Every structure is written in C-alpha cells, then in structure tokens.
A and B are shown apart, each in its own frame.
Chain A
C-alpha cells in the first residue's frame, strides 16, 4: 500500500473499484504536485510529484499540518485563513489559484502556483491543492528582465541610437538616444524610411551610388551617414547594421546602431583645416624651412625648400638633410645637435656657398624643437644673395661718389697745369715745323738751317718725347674727366630712347671711329644682333647710355683681341624683363675668373696694360647705369666661357632721386 493513498480508511471494496484505480493512477502520474488535507489542515494525501516538489516522502507528511510546507508569512496566516474561510466562506485562493512560495525539506523556499479545490465527500469538507513549480519559469523571467535591463542600460550609457528597420528601410524600433542625436522622439520616426532622415546631399548621393540599397542584404560596418537634425543642422553618424533572417532565410528586418560622430568629424575637419592653414603659412614664406629630427632626417619640407632644391616634399621627407643640402651641410654639421643641446637657436649669417660657379649667400637659423618629448629642429635658410649684392654695389657706389666728389674739387687744379703742358706742346711742335713761315723767318735771321734742325730733332727722338708728353697729359685729362662723371647728377637730358638705336649708333661709331678701328679690329669681329621686337623705349640720357654701351663693346673687343674662340663674336641682345629693358653685351673671348669678375666695376681696377685704359670705364658705366638711371649692371663670366654684361634700364622715369 502506498502511503499516499487517498484515504487509508476507505473500505477495500471501494478501493478496488475500477473508478478508484483510474483516479489513483491519475493522481500518481500527475505532473503537478497534489496534496489533499482535511478541514483542520491535516495532510491526508501527497502524490509523487508533490514528494519531488517538497523533497519529503508522503509518509513524513501525511497526518501532519500542511503549514510545515509553507514558509512565513503563509505559515502563520494559514490557520487563521482557513478558519476565516470556514466561518465566512470568503475565498482567497480556493478555486482561484495564485502564486505562493513553498518550503522544501532542505529549507529552500521556491515559487509555485497553487490552486486549491474544495471537496465534499458526503461526510466532511476536504481540500486538494494543485502545485506547479515555478522555479524555472521565474529564473527565465528574471534572466530576461536582467538581459533587458542590461540592454537598456548599455544603450543609454553609450548614447548610441539602436534601431530596427523592416526590409524596406522603415523604422520599426528606435532607442531613446535618437532624441539626443536627431531631436526626434523615437515614436516620431517609427514608420518613416531612413532615407527621409538624410540630408538632401546624402539622399541624392545614395540614390546615385546605391539605387538598390533597400535590397542589399549584407551587413554593413561604420557607414558614414549624414542626417538632418530636427532643428535643421547636419548630424554625421557612423552606422553599423545587420540583416535578421527567419528560419527560411527570408529577410525579416535590419537591426543596427548609429553613433553620433559629428563632433569628432568636425574636430577632424578643423584639424585638417588647421594643418592646411599652417602648411600654407609655412609655404608662403620665401624662406627655406626644413623640419628635421634629432638625426637630421627631414620631417617637414616647405615650398621654399622645394623651389631651392627642385626636390618635392614627398621625396624629401625621410631623407637626410645633409643629402639634400650638401653645400650647407659641410658648414652646418653640428648645428642641429648644438641647437637641441643648448635649447637655443643657432644662427649663421652670410654663409657663402658655391652654386653653378657663382657665390651665393645665405642666413641660416637652426631653431630647436623640444615640445612634447620630441627633439628635433627647424632649419631656416634665407637666400640673401641679392641683398649682399646690393650692399656690395652700394659700397661700390659710395666709393665712386667719393671719387666723384674728390674729382670735382681737384679738376680745376689739375686741368690748369695740364692745359699749360698741352698748349706748350702744341706750340713747341708748331715752332719746330720747317713749313711754318714764322719759323723760317726766325731761322733765317739766326742763320740756321731749319731742315737740319728738324733732322736733328727727329734723329734724337725729341719729337717723340714731345708727343709722349702730350699723350700722357691727355690721358691724365681723361682720367679727370671720367672721375668727374661720378659727380654728375643732372637728369635734364633724360628722354625716351630706343635701346636698339643707341646700340646701333655705338656699333657705327666703334666700326668707323679711326682711333677705335686702329685699336680694335672690328672687321674681324662678327656682331650678332638678337633684339626683342617692339621693345619699349627707355627713359635715359642717351649720350651717357651710349657711353656705357661703347665702354662695354670696347671691352668686349679688347678681350676678344686677347684670344678665345677663333671666330670672334659680340652678341647684342635685348629683352623685356618686367619694368626693365635688359641689354646683354656678350663676347666669346677668354672670359675671366671669379676674382676678377667681382672687381671689374671697382674704380681704377684694370686688367689692361698701362696706358690702354683708365681703369674707370666700367666703374663709370656702373655709376651711370645704377646711380643716374636707377638700373643695374652685372656681369656673368668664367674662364674660357666669354663674358656677358647685362644692363637693365627702367622703362619709366624713376620716382627716386
């Protein structure tokens, strides 16, 4: 006999009835626990499911009060509850069922659903409780709640807008973050297609690029989206989404996340802009600016550096500074380390470098860069060649002006004695001439043979001496006259003149003038003309400029006479160069070395043998061009390469002076 039989007291014939056996089988095999009790709360039946539920065997419970299976507060309330029902008939659980907790034998309280039925067996009132264990369901529910809570919290903490769209791109869910990101309540976007929220530009670009986009079924990752915020401004997000399929592989919906990156994006744009702006500043500087690290490797390379070296930044970065500026490196070897060590700029002024046979000057500053744990330097190179040249020319001009001032003061004092010498020479020559009637008369009176006298003078070379005195005095007079040119300041004679015409006048003079023809064999020299067509006239004193051109052509002829190419050639070239006419007078003679080239415009500097030049021709020319005409004159030459004098004359009257 099983201990949990409904009633021990039932007569055997009752128990052995088929109906009773069926009843017994149902109770024994029920999934839910069934416990029967009398109207005093005493347990009279407990089925196997109830045994499993409470951990008691039926015989431990039968005959005992049901409250031992109840935790507080049910336990204390139970008797009162039962009494109250029996006296008032007020039901709380009977026939209704509710969630309560049970107390297991091992002390564990567990949730269960309890429904109680009231039974009348003809003699007394009995109760049957049906108990369904809710432990698993409660656990699942709690886990679900926990999961939902976690999801909600994470979603709100990240501030990301989590959404779901149907396969056509219509929102079916949106997390509350959409309010912060786009300004819309989640409900306001449900039912709308995501493209409606785009900015117009984005919408159009999507249509252009992805006409099939609603049908694309691949997951996407960090796609850039531009939405229009409710208040109109643009919001940039990074969107990641995944398609959700049903068991048959049909697309049910999309689920994804949009992260607001507007600020980062703007910051990045601002950073890019700032970088471009700084680059622009660095590139706008005429200086060469090169950033190097401690080892001298190039990190930054501006446009100035690009221009100076012909190496583009892309090719310079990462290379050694020494390799890119070999001419500077020998002189700057330790400056970078020095600047970093001293934490102070190291500067070198007027660094002279040789480039294509010409001397260039540069000011070089090395600034240490010590910020943010990076140590390196910025090397700034300023080409000051033209400034140095101007300074040198100013020194030259100063020299000439002082020569001019001196000449003006002493011209009178020198010209008077020279005049006495020259006039006396002329008288001596005439009075020694046998042809002059007055001479014959005097000779006759003295009984002198004038022809004999003449013969004597010739044979003793006396006439040559007189001629020598004359030439020497003429040369001295010419030096004084040249020196006086430095003090002439009048611009009264200035007018527009064609450069070409002045050059041609000088060529005519040079090839026809007897003295010049005698000294320089112009017949042997080919004159090449390379004139710019329709060159504007220059504003000048044409006699002075012609003097300059004559000096230069004479010089060229002189140097051609000294050797050089077998076919002697002087090239006359004119070009327009901004506001200046550029005139080149070039010869293919022997040229000159740098030492001579530097000094050619200096007063009294000459390479010609004594008596040939005054040493003032080029300095006079220099003075006329630079001081009087506000132009410039330079020379390019190298041994064996001929010489090219370049005169630049302004087209317009200078505002200076």
Chain B
C-alpha cells in the first residue's frame, strides 16, 4: 500500500514541489493551502499516514492544526517544515511522538522522503 502524505503549506510552489518530489518517490500526496482545508480533507474521510505541516499559516496556525488533526486522526504522524529561524516544537506536541523539524529552504528533499518512510513504517 502506498504511503499517503498530506502537505499543508500556503505557498503553492512549495506544496507543489514537495508533492512532485514525493510522488516521484512513489507516495500518494494530497495538498492543502491552509489548516482549515487540511481539517476538511480529514473530516470528509481522507486518511493519511504523514502530514507535512507549515507553521505560519493564514487562519489556524501550524501548532493548532496539528492538535486538531491529532484529535480527529490520532495515528497521523507529523513533520514540521518552517521558514522561521527560531521555531522549536511545542512541549505538548512532543507527547505525540517524534515530530521531525525541517527548515526552509530545503535544497535537497531526499532526507524528507526517507523521514516520511520511517514515520509511516512506525504507524503500521
């Protein structure tokens, strides 16, 4: 079964390029331009193994989105991708298990892909 990935980023070029790379890596990728859109997807029954979450988002921010998605879908694993220099994973989120942090800009997405595979394998 293909790994299903949800990319949440308000920057279409980033969402699009991550999706392209991961699809080339043989994953099934869905994009959401906001936290609200991501929640909607999960609520309508879409199931994902890993969610790549941007932190600075219009409306609901990354941290809140992770908490909300976790409630709906407790098995979902998260990767944080951020352009902020001083971000560190919030204390309560760490309780959900390993949440790897990737900083933008990401010149090479290969480590991202391997991290997704590792997380996906842990959920099974």
A and B associate in one complex: yes
- A418, B13: Cα distance in complex, Å: 10
Cβ of B14 within 8 Å of any chain A Cβ, yes or no, is: yes
Q: Is the CB of A436 within 8 A of B24?
A: yes
Specify which chain B residues have a CB less than 8 angstroms from the CB of A408 in the assembled complex. Answer: 85-86
From residue 398 to 429 of chain A, which have CB atoms closer than 8 A to chain B?
Answer: 407-408, 411-427
- Residue on B nearest A436 in the bound complex, by CB: B24
Contact with A along B95-120 (1 / 0, CB 8 A): 00000000111111100000000000
A422 proximity list for chain B (CB < 8 A): 105-107
Is the CB of A430 closer than 8 A to any CB of chain B? yes
A421 to B11, CA, bound (A): 11
Of chain A, the residue at the smallest CB distance from B84 is A412
User: Which residues from 418 to 450 on chain A have a C-beta closer than 8 Å to any C-beta of chain B?
Assistant: 418-427, 430-431, 436, 438
User: Which one, B15-23, B30-38, B40-48, B65-73, is touching chain A?
Assistant: B15-23
Q: Counting CB contacts under 8 A, is B58 at the interface?
A: no
Contact assessment for B84 and A423 in the assembled complex, using a CB-CB cutoff below 8 Å: no
Give A466 Cβ to nearest chain B Cβ, in Å: 13
Stretch at the interface among A196-204, A470-478, A524-532, A549-557: A470-478
State whether B104 touches A426 (Cβ < 8 A): no
Within the complex, the shortest CB–CB distance from A435 to chain B, in Å, comes to: 12
For the complex, is A484 an interface residue (Cβ under 8 Å from B)? yes
- Asked whether, in the complex, the Cβ of B85 is within 8 Å of the Cβ of A426, the reply is no
- With A427-B24, A473-B105 as contacts: A419 and B14 at CB distance below 8 Å: yes
Tell me if B75 is interfacial: C-beta within 8 Å of chain A. Answer: no
Interface residues on A, range: 20 to 34
Chain A residues in 8 Å Cβ range of B17: 420, 423-424, 426-427
Q: Please, which residues of chain A bring their CB within 8 A of the CB of B84?
A: 411-412, 415
The reply to whether B83 and A416 form a contact with Cβ atoms under 8 Å apart is yes
For the A-B complex, the count of residue pairs with Cβ-Cβ distances under 8 Å equals: 78
**Chain A residues within 8 Å of B56, by CB:** 412
Checking B24, B82, B83, B107 against A474 with a beta-carbon cut-off of 8 angstroms, the contacting residue is B107
Interface size on B, residues (CB 8 A): 21
Instruction: For residue B56, give the distance in angstroms from its CB to the closest CB of chain A.
Output: 6
Query: Which chain B residue has the least Cβ–Cβ distance from A420?
Result: B13
B24 touches A423 (CB 8 A): no
Residues from chain B with a CB closer than 8 A to the CB of A431 are 20, 24
Bound Cα distance from A416 to B82, whole angstroms: 8
Q: How far is the CA of A414 from the CA of B84 in the complex (A)?
A: 10
| Residues of chain B within 8 A of A417, CB atoms compared | 11, 13
| A407, A419, A427, A484: the one within 8 Å of B105 (CB) | A419
Q: Is the CB of A419 within 8 A of B104?
A: yes
Known: A412-B56, A420-B17, A436-B24. A470 touches B86 (CB 8 A): no
> A425: nearest residue on chain B (CB-CB)?
B107
Least CB distance from B80 to A in Å reads 13
Instruction: State in angstroms the CA–CA spacing of A413 and B82 once bound together.
Output: 11
Q: Nearest chain-A residue to B15 (Cβ)?
A: A420
Q: Are A420 and B14 in contact (CB under 8 A)?
A: yes
- In the assembled complex, the CB of B114 is this many whole angstroms from the nearest CB of chain A, namely 14
Name the B residues within 8 Å of A424 (CB-CB).
13, 17
Smallest CB gap from B14: residue in A: A420
Contact assessment for B83 and A438 in the assembled complex, using a CB-CB cutoff below 8 Å: no
Residues from chain B with a CB closer than 8 A to the CB of A438 are 24
Across the interface, which residues of B come within 8 angstroms of A470, CB to CB? 107
Please tell me if the beta carbons of A412 and B83 are within 8 angstroms of each other in the complex: yes
A90 to B40, CA, bound (A): 172
B104 and A415 within 8 A (CB): yes
Known: A412-B56, A424-B13, A477-B105. A419 touches B83 (CB 8 A): yes
State A415–B54 Cα separation when bound (angstroms).
Answer: 12
In the complex, chain B residues whose CB is within 8 Å of the CB of A420:
11, 13-14, 17
Measured between beta carbons, the chain A residues less than 8 angstroms from B85 are 407-408, 411-412, 481, 484, 487
- The residues in B between 61 and 95 inclusive whose CB is less than 8 angstroms from any CB of A are 82-86
Chain A residues closer than 8 Å to B105, beta-carbon distance: 415-416, 418-419, 421-423, 473-474, 477
Q: Which of A419, A420, A424, A438 has the most CB of B within 10 A?
A: A419
Q: Is B107 touching A416 in the complex (CB atoms < 8 A)?
A: no
Chain A proximity of B17: nearest CB distance (Å): 4
CB distance from B5 to the nearest CB of A (A): 14
Chain A residue nearest to B104 (CB atoms) is A419
- Alpha-carbon distance between A488 and B11 when the two chains are bound, in angstroms: 27
Closest 10 CB pairs of A and B: A420-B13, A415-B83, A423-B17, A419-B104, A419-B105, A418-B105, A412-B83, A415-B104, A422-B107, A411-B85
23 residue pairs from A and B, CB less than 8 Å apart: A408-B86, A411-B83, A411-B85, A412-B84, A414-B83, A416-B11, A416-B83, A417-B11, A418-B105, A419-B11, A419-B106, A422-B107, A423-B14, A423-B17, A423-B105, A425-B107, A426-B109, A427-B24, A431-B24, A470-B107, A474-B105, A477-B105, A481-B85
Beyond A423-B109, A424-B17, 20 additional pairs, beta carbon < 8 A = A408-B85, A411-B85, A412-B56, A412-B82, A412-B85, A415-B83, A416-B83, A416-B105, A419-B83, A419-B104, A420-B11, A420-B13, A420-B14, A423-B14, A426-B17, A426-B107, A427-B20, A470-B107, A477-B107, A484-B85
Q: Which residues of B does A touch, CB under 8 Å?
A: 11, 13-14, 17-18, 20-21, 24, 56, 82-86, 103-109
